[in-house]
Structure 1
Amino acid sequence: YQDVSREEVRTALFAGSTKSTPGASQINYRLLQWTWNICEDFIVALIRLCAAMGFHPTMWKTAIAFALRKPGKKDYGMPRAWRLIQLLECMGKILERIQANRLAYWAETQNL
């Protein structure tokens, strides 16, 4: 297993939209990006530890879900008249993005 690099964490963090709504912790990408210069070592250590242990904290997987009406629909009794929104924790998204990038790289190098 290769440790997660500082650059992988930075790339995953800054790839996130600053306009996305955060999960229950209210820690969004804008806050994480703003504090990067101060909290970089802590964020990298946390992501590295989670990746090395194969651990994805339950709090990072917990979503706040709700439904929004799609405009212009005639019958809101139909499931397709609604848009389902799930708000996930940004730290979980960062960890998932790193793992997805690594998996994509591995698949590419293995010609899968």
Structure 2
Amino acid sequence: MNAFDADVLSEIMRGQPAYVQRAARFSPREQSVPIVVVEEILRGRMNSIRQAEAGRGKLSVERAYGYFEATVAAFQRVTILGYSAAADNLFQQWRSRLKPRIGTHDLRIAAI
């Protein structure tokens, strides 16, 4: 099983050839995404919709919703790695011990 982080997944979704080719080496059944990454990507897509609605975005509302829809569809083709009580326990332990601090999302992804 191969888990993609938000940066790699974003490059795949943008169609960056090197990332797309690397991901294609694995069947969809071998591809996974931590739920924390799903949240991060969907928050970004929703922010794009809000910016477009306010006239401040780089995208039209139609295009922003199109990207949102494509993202939701993409997540349906891969395994989503859930955030369990065990993962949260690890996260809490590591968060209190690690110096320098690691970003919350990165630490949660590692705990999964």
Q: How would you bin the TM-score normalised by the shorter chain? A: under 0.3
Taking structure 1 as the reference length, what is the TM-score of the superposition?
Answer: 0.26
Higher Rg: 1
TM (norm. structure 2) is: 0.26
- Hey, which of these two has a bigger chunk of helix by percent? 2
